[in-house]
Amino acid sequence: MLLAVLPDKTEEIIGDRGYDSNRIRLLLAERNITACIQPKKNWKSKPPYDWYLYKKRHLI
């Protein structure tokens, strides 16, 4: 998994809905990394995310 080899300085991750899972969110939270992942439409209680930051996910 690519998320396991992130540099130690990583502070936030921006990801598409394909990365929206409890396992990924927990892994990032354990490393104190903020997850900016748009929740899937089928979630009843959707986790919050920064919409403005999420829109910049395609910039390099």
Domain definitions of the chain by residue range: 10-54
Q: What is the pLDDT of residues 3-21, one digit of tens each?
A: 778 888 999 888 888 889 8
19, two tokens? 């990365």
Nearest one of 57, 33, 37 to 47, comparing CA atoms: 37
What is the percent of the chain with per-residue pLDDT over 70, rounded to a whole number? Answer: 97
User: pTM of the entire structure?
Assistant: 0.75
CB pairs under 8 A, 24+ apart, for 17-23? 17/41
Residue among 59, 7, 58, 51 at smallest CA distance from 33: 7
Residues in the chain: 60
